[in-house]
Amino acid sequence: MKTFEEILSIINTEINQINWQREPQGLYEPIEYVLQLGGKRIRPALTLMACNLFIDNILPAIMPAIGIEIFHNFTLLHDDIMDKATVRRGQSTVHIKWNENTAILSGDLMQIEAYKYISQAPEAVLKQVLEIFSTTAAEVCEGQQLDMDFEKLSQVSENQYLEMIKLKTAVLLGCALKIGAIIGNAQSADCQMIYDFGINLGLAFQLKDDFLDVWGDENTFGKKIGGDILCNKKTFLLINALQQAKGNDKEELNFLLTNKNIIPQDKIRRMTDIFNRLKIRDFTEEKINFYYKKSLINLDSVAVAKNKKEILQNLTKKLLQRNN
């Protein structure tokens, strides 16, 4: 079994070796820029770790893993435009550094490049790999549309929100793991169980992102704290605050959501104070822990030796204890 550090080294080496010095540079330079910003590389790492659960030779899974990372970064380019985000991983987003048209077109090309890498899966499992990846790619778009739809709705239920983040975030983690397992010639039951592990890990991961947007450290989070609050994003935190708030808290919450003349930092502070009074922090941490435990149950059910699963168990724990 390879260590997480060894797997990350393989991924980073492969990404750094991609030649983006092509013409027109205005199309390819933003792709190189966003991939060189780094990130956690969690999705390609999960692909290689899942493959390594079942076979020692992870070489056949490397190119599909890189394809998944390119696809993930494509979604970030377009997501940042829709969210009007200015910072990603501590640096200017592509549409700020260049412009929106460039970010759209470079993102489109990244999706095409992702398919080229995914298509390098072993021929015996290629159809299966392309099916799960294509299904997931469509689901990610569905999740993004739901996220945008929520902006127009006055009320969103917790279950609606969880379904949205499942599609927008969790399915790609599940897909990354399942593709690795498929390439590793895992049994169908194990492929499904490791996919479910990824879904529950993804739900916990996104809820942690919601949490960090309010209670994280801007120096380590990689983007500005309170961004979700400023754009009235219906996160797990806000949805539950709207359900629980009464009296003065409810009045202030509605005021903060509807008044466009509030100083941004004042809005963040006052909204955070409401979350704290309603104990939303504790409730969110409980929900994160709920999905974390579910993910470990899924992983425990995968029919390989326990010691082989330790690397995934440790990574899961690390992801949910992170501060960025």
Give the pLDDT confidence score for residue 224 in this predicted structure. 73
Prediction pTM value: 0.94
Closest by alpha carbon to 163, among 202, 137, 129, 126? 202
87: β partners: 92
> Residue 221 above 80 pLDDT?
no
Residue type (1 letter), 148 = M
Q: Could you tell me the pLDDT band of residue 222, with boundaries at 50, 70 and 90?
A: low
Interval 235-254 mean pLDDT: 96
Give the pLDDT confidence score for residue 323 in this predicted structure. 77
> Residue 186 above 90 pLDDT?
yes
Give the pLDDT confidence score for residue 303 in this predicted structure. 97
pLDDT, one tens digit per residue, over 84-125 is: 888 888 899 999 999 999 999 999 999 999 999 999 999 999
Cα separation, 136 vs 198, in Å, equals 13
Lowest mean pLDDT among 74-83, 126-135, 171-180, 279-288: 74-83
- The domains located in the chain, with CATH, are 4-215+289-320 (1.10.600.10)
Give the pLDDT confidence score for residue 83 in this predicted structure. 82
Cβ atoms within 10 Å, residue 283: 16
Cβ atoms within 10 Å, residue 247: 7
Cα separation, 46 vs 121, in Å, equals 16
